[in-house]
C-alpha cells in the first residue's frame, strides 16, 4: 500500500485490535479524550463501586469497608491511568505520521491488571502493615481482572463507543477543516493535500476512509460524507453509502446476479447500491466520452459498454 506521509502532524492515530478480532480505529488523541470523558469516568467509578461492594480479594473474611474503599479506589485509579498514559504517549510518539499505528489490547490489559492489582494490594499493606495475599491468589486475581476488563471493553465498544466517536467527530474542535462553500480542486484529508483530478475512488472502511488515486492510496479518518461533499459534482458520483467513484475511473460495468459492479482503472471495483442502479446507468450514459455533445447515449446502450 502506497501512502504519502506529510511533513506536518496528521490525524492518523492508534488502531486497537480487540481480543474478539474487532478493530477500533481512532484519530490522534481520540483515545485519551474518550478515557477522560464524563461517560467513561462515570462508568469506571461504577465499576469501582461494584468491586468495592463485592470485594473479590480472595480472602476468607470480608475486608473492612474503611480498607476496601481506598484499596479499590487506588487500584481502579492506577488501572485507568495505565490506559490513559498508553494512549496519550502512543499518540505523542507514534501518531500523526501519516500512517495508522496498530497494537493489540491483550498485552495492555495484562499489564494493567497486574499494575492495578499490585497498587491495590500495596495500599492494603500500607494501611494494615500486613501482606495478606499469596503468589497463587495474586495470579488468580490477575486473571480475574483481565477477564473483567476484556468483557467491559467489549461492552463499551458495542454500546457506547460508536456514539461517542460520532459526536466527537462532528464537533467543531475535531473537524479537519470547515465545510467548503464551493467545490475544491484540492481535497484536504488526514493532513494530506490531494488533487481531486487524481482521485478515482473513495470508499468507507469503518472509522477510516480509503482514497484511491492515480499515484497510490491514502487511508484517512472519516467521516465519509465530509470527504466527498467538497468534490465537484462533475467529477464523479456517490453510488453507494460507502462508495464514491470518479467518472473517468469507470472502465467497465457488469451485472453479477442482482448486483451492478463497476470496474475501476486502478484495478479495484465498486458495487452500486440497488436503489441507485437506474441512476448510475443513466449517469454513465450521459457522461460517456463516446457520446456526442448534447446527445447522451441511452441507458440500454450504456449497459453494453
Q: Are the beta carbons of 241 and 233 closer than 8 angstroms?
A: no
The answer to whether the Cα torsion of 3, 202, 168, 146 is positive or negative is negative
Beta pairing partners, 217: 212
Residue range(s) defining the domain that contains residue 50:
12-172
pLDDT at 3: 43
- Cα separation, 51 vs 247, in Å, equals 59
Total count of domains within the chain:
2
Q: Are the beta carbons of 32 and 91 closer than 8 angstroms?
A: yes
Q: What percent of the chain has pLDDT over 70?
A: 83
Domain membership flag for residue 2: no
Per-residue pLDDT tens over the stretch 231-268: 888 899 999 999 999 999 999 999 888 899 999 988 89
Comparing 181 with 212, which gets the higher pLDDT?
212
Q: What percent of the chain has pLDDT over 90?
A: 46
Are residues 149 and 212 both part of a single domain? no
Are residues 164 and 19 both part of a single domain? yes
Question: Across the chain, where does the E strand assignment appear?
Answer: 12-17, 23-27, 101-104, 186-189, 192-195, 199-205, 208-213, 217-221, 236-240, 243-246, 250-256, 259-264, 269-272
Are residues 280 and 155 both part of a single domain? no
Q: Which of 257, 268, 261 is nearest to 284 (CA)?
A: 261
Are residues 112 and 200 both part of a single domain? no
pLDDT band of 184, cuts 50, 70, 90: low
All three cell numbers of 256: 453479477
Domain membership flag for residue 3: no
Q: Distances from the Cα of 155 to the Cαs of 23, 90, 150, 151, 254, in angstroms?
A: 14, 24, 9, 6, 42
pLDDT at 296: 38
Domain membership flag for residue 4: no
Could you tell me how far CA 304 lies from the centroid of its own chain? 40
pLDDT at 66: 92
pLDDT at 272: 94
All three cell numbers of 242: 460507502
Residue 124 pLDDT exceeds 80 = yes
Report the chain's mean pLDDT, rounded to a whole number.
83
pLDDT at 72: 95
Boundary residue ending a domain (150, 172, 194):
172
pLDDT band of 12, cuts 50, 70, 90: low
Are residues 165 and 85 both part of a single domain? yes
pLDDT at 214: 86
Domain membership flag for residue 210: yes
Average pLDDT of span 255-283: 91
Are residues 198 and 159 both part of a single domain? no
All three cell numbers of 224: 465519509
pLDDT at 99: 65
Boundary residue ending a domain (119, 143, 172):
172
pLDDT at 11: 57
Domain membership flag for residue 137: yes
Domain membership flag for residue 240: yes
Rg (CA), the chain: 26
Determine how many CB atoms are found less than 10 A away from the CB of residue 34.
21
Comparing 186 with 301, which gets the higher pLDDT?
186
Boundary residue ending a domain (115, 148, 172):
172
pLDDT band of 160, cuts 50, 70, 90: confident
pLDDT at 98: 59
Are residues 45 and 110 both part of a single domain? yes
Are residues 147 and 195 both part of a single domain? no
CATH code, 201: 2.40.50.1020
Domain membership flag for residue 166: yes
- Cα separation, 267 vs 281, in Å, equals 21
All three cell numbers of 12: 492518523
Are residues 143 and 68 both part of a single domain? yes
The structure's pTM equals: 0.58
Are residues 21 and 145 both part of a single domain? yes
Amino acid at each position: 500500500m502506497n501512502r504519502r506521509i506529510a511533513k506536518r502532524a496528521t490525524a492518523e492515530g492508534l488502531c486497537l485490535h480487540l481480543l474478539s478480532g474487532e478493530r477500533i480505529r481512532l484519530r490522534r488523541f481520540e483515545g485519551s479524550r474518550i478515557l477522560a470523558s464524563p461517560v467513561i469516568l462515570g462508568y469506571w467509578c461504577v465499576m469501582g463501586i461494584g468491586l468495592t461492594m463485592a470485594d473479590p480479594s480472595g480472602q476468607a473474611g470480608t475486608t473492612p469497608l474503611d480498607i476496601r474503599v481506598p484499596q479499590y479506589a487506588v487500584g481502579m485509579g492506577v488501572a485507568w491511568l495505565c490506559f490513559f498514559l498508553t494512549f496519550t504517549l502512543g499518540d505523542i510518539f507514534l501518531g500523526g505520521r501519516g500512517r495508522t499505528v496498530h497494537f493489540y489490547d491483550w498485552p495492555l490489559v495484562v499489564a494493567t491488571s497486574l499494575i492495578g492489582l499490585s497498587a491495590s494490594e500495596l495500599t492494603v499493606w500500607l494501611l494494615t502493615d500486613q501482606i495478606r495475599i499469596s503468589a497463587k491468589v495474586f495470579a488468580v486475581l490477575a486473571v480475574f481482572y483481565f477477564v473483567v476488563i476484556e468483557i467491559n471493553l467489549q461492552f463499551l465498544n458495542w454500546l457506547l463507543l460508536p456514539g461517542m466517536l460520532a459526536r466527537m467527530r462532528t464537533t467543531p474542535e475535531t473537524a479537519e477543516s470547515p465545510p467548503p462553500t464551493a467545490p475544491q480542486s484540492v481535497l484536504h484529508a488526514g493532513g494530506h493535500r490531494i488533487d481531486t483530478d487524481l482521485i478515482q475512488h473513495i470508499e468507507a472502511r469503518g472509522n477510516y476512509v480509503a482514497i484511491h488515486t492515480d499515484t497510490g492510496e491514502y487511508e484517512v479518518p472519516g467521516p465519509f460524507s465530509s470527504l466527498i461533499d467538497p468534490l465537484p459534482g462533475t467529477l464523479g458520483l456517490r453510488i453507494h453509502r460507502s462508495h464514491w467513484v470518479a467518472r473517468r475511473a469507470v472502465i467497465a460495468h457488469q451485472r453479477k446476479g442482482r448486483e451492478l459492479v463497476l470496474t475501476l482503472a486502478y484495478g479495484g471495483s465498486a458495487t452500486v447500491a440497488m436503489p441507485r442502479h437506474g441512476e448510475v446507468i443513466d449517469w454513465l450514459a450521459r457522461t460517456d466520452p463516446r457520446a456526442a455533445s448534447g446527445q447522451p447515449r441511452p441507458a440500454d446502450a450504456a449497459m453494453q459498454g
